[in-house]
Structure 1
């Protein structure tokens, strides 16, 4: 049974246009999702959560994204952290068990990985992580695309320690919203995904307590379970969001083709036009192909399947295919829907703007191809 009921999804869908128009945060959506228990979807039942699998949540996120893409993208970041903690715990590493317990208690987690100009992503950081004598760290830098900016209570982040005897080390930690030195900038006024309110976060000596510092890793690619867990949950849940967008765009394209009439053909329904039928069929074929890939990857993560050094190939390939497919499906739906979809208040017009964000999430097209080439041919010398 789905956690997100039809009535809840309809309520969220009905608010989406207003949030987008006003560039406002999805506060009411978040409150309803919290009341439904959805924010604990990946928390084990033994800790007070719903105990869903990643594969379960992938389907829930597709439904949520079909109703309101920006809401799904915002909530995704909290689900990523709980998914990371679950993936690690399932494999015997309890370093992030506190994330699951705090999520069950109502804490909301945000992801602070991205930095302007940093194409190393998880393999390097422009944020300074300065060690303090008690084992904690103080972080200084600016993180961008911090979804859930108005509401998060816990921030998972990382930075570079350049001063310890074993430096350099990438330091991963969680900080609380009330920690001194956090400034959330009012800089989220974007083309799409507006209601996610993914503002930049400035850190000035923000302290992470010793018990909230959970990894110190060498810069660069790493076989550490944390890196796999972040990458696998982020790419898979992100792919679910964009696949949900594709599904909704296809639904709207079909509805519009059935509704529109052709003056040239004596009022005949556009759905009988061979060109329109071909475009929608092409969109459906592309959409249908992503579903089994998404399901298979999520199921393998849940089951702990060992794909060895081919895991990252699978994950970046999934993300790139899902976001590119979503963009193609939305474009085809707009092509068959007429000029009304060009207006900013039109749902398809909003999906067109929202789906463009897929190209900015890691891994981007260039990075994905480099990863797959390395998996096939070995790394460059």
Structure 2
């Protein structure tokens, strides 16, 4: 019988305590949490989704989602940064579970401590996975050279490999969307331009590709532009949405815990009673708990479906977009209420709640954004708009 999954084994309390202590420093100084990454690498965290025979921990996507919730409760920016690495390892696992070893090199590299970054987002590109403004030019030997600009490239100071996409418009069968992995070299420039309201430690800088080369064995897909049933596209969307939902669910849980602690610690000058006995405070915290409690089961259910290769067909997109949207909107509501429970002191920039308040805002900007999520759900329930 397989042993029960124990999140503390992978993220022990003392490790989380160190990460939590560093988080405000990286937020204040706008720096990448190198020490956090070193600790997580030493703990084998980068390879949690790689199979044991490949050197990893062999965890399921559902188990990784639980761990990301736990990590985000200690250091949201660290969790979000690592999320982008775990997206690629999760995609590699999705493919491997379906008999496709296209990304085995990702799993082996991650298990060995290598860092993979997500270089898909582009300014103004609402096609996301289905189109690109980046040029992908064949090199004549099966490889490609990529020229373009990617935004929100988390892990910018530390990644070893960058997963990107671009549009091939010159091959005989063009146009084709090309997905490939680049190694860091002088043809890739990371701008030092990450100066944001929250999630500052992710250092999700703009990345310029100047003919960056992907060798033939790192070109993993050539697909027609537009929506595709390819397992790579499904894997990217599924793992991305589930792990993003996990990070913001972890933020919500931390805000709820802080609100509970604050309510118990504060006492009314008027009555002398604990704020935990105040009916208005109790109602607000109950509302927070109602919102939070709905999230982990949803994440677990969809993660299990991905792991079990359940076929939701065309519903997958709306289910995943809906999960991410509900998680980030609920998390924002929970943090808003936690600020009110905390009182005026929570408005000071040095408080953890103040940082969570800024960090949680980033959730609404990740795909699927609110407009995309609502469009997906409307189409799923009402059908497409008549031409």
**TM bucket by the smaller chain?**
over 0.9
Question: Which residue, out of 325, 329, 337, partners 1:324?
Answer: 329
1:364 maps to which residue? Answer: 369
| Residue among 87, 92, 99 paired with 1:92 | 99
Q: C-alpha separation between the residues in 1 aligned to 2:68 and 2:283?
A: 29
TM-score by length of 1: 0.98
Does the alignment pair 1:268 with 2:270?
Answer: no
Partner of 1:128: 135
Q: Which residue of 1 aligns with 2:338?
A: 333
**In structure 2, C-alpha distance between the alignment counterparts of 1:106 and 1:71, rounded to whole Å:** 16
Cα displacement (A) at 1:262? 1.7
Correspondence 1:366-381 to 2 at 5 A: 366-380=371-385, 381=387
- 1:277 aligns to 2:285 (yes or no): no
Q: Which residue is 1:257 aligned to?
A: 263
299, 310, 313: which one aligns with 1:308: 313
Stretch moving more, 59-68 or 253-262: 253-262
Give the match for residue 238 of structure 2: 232
Q: Does 2:63 match 1:56?
A: yes
Deviation at residue 63 of structure 1 after TM alignment: 0.5
Distance between the aligned counterparts of 1:84 and 1:269, measured in 2?
A: 48
**What SS is found at the alignment partner of 2:136?**
strand
- Within the candidate set 348, 354, 357, 1:352 is matched to 357
**Aligned residue for 1:18?**
25
**Equivalent residue, structure 2, for 1:43:** 50
The answer to whether the aligner puts 1:247 opposite 2:253 as a matched pair is: yes
Aligned to 1:117: 124
Report the Cα offset of residue 376 of structure 1: 2.1
- The residue correspondences of 1:208-223 to structure 2 (distance < 5 A) are 208-223=214-229
Question: What displacement does 1:377 show?
Answer: 2.7
In structure 2, the residue matched to 1:148 is 155
Q: Report the 3-state secondary structure (helix = DSSP H, G, I; strand = E; otherwise coil) of the residue aligned with 1:74.
A: helix
Q: Identify the match of residue 213 of structure 2 among 207, 218, 223.
A: 207
Q: Secondary structure at the match of 1:191?
A: coil
Number of residue pairs the alignment of both structures matches: 379
Q: SS of the residue aligned with 1:63?
A: helix
SS in 2 for 1:321: helix
Question: For residue 27 of structure 1, what is the aligned residue in structure 2?
Answer: 34
Give every structure 1 segment of 4 or more consecutive aligned residues whose post-TM-superposition deviation is greater than 4 Å.
Answer: none
Question: Could you tell me how far 1:54 is from its partner in structure 2?
Answer: 0.6
Bigger Cα displacement from structure 2, 214-223 vs 67-76: 214-223
Q: Give the Å deviation of 1:74.
A: 0.3
Give the drift of 1:371: 1.1
After TM superposition, give the deviation of residue 336 of structure 1 in Å: 1.0
By how many angstroms is 1:93 displaced? Answer: 1.3
Q: Is the partner of 1:262 in helix, strand or coil?
A: coil
- Report how far residue 186 of structure 1 moved: 0.2
Is the Cα–Cα contact under 8 Å of residues 44 and 113 in structure 2 kept in the other structure?
Answer: no
* RMSD of Structure 2 on Structure 1 (CA): 0.9
Q: Deviations over 1:151-175 (max 9, x none)?
A: 0000000011111111111100000
Matched residue SS, 2:173? coil
Question: What's the TM-score once normalised by structure 2's chain length?
Answer: 0.96
| Ranges in structure 1 where 5+ consecutive residues have no aligned partner | none
Matched residues in 1 for 2:357 and 2:54: separation? 39
Q: What is the alpha-carbon distance in structure 2 between the residues aligned to residue 169 and residue 298 of structure 1?
A: 30
Deviations for 1:183-203, whole angstroms, at most 9, x for unmatched residues? 000000100000111111000
Q: Report 1:147-166 matches (<5 A).
A: 147-166=154-173
Structure 1 counterpart SS, 2:335: helix
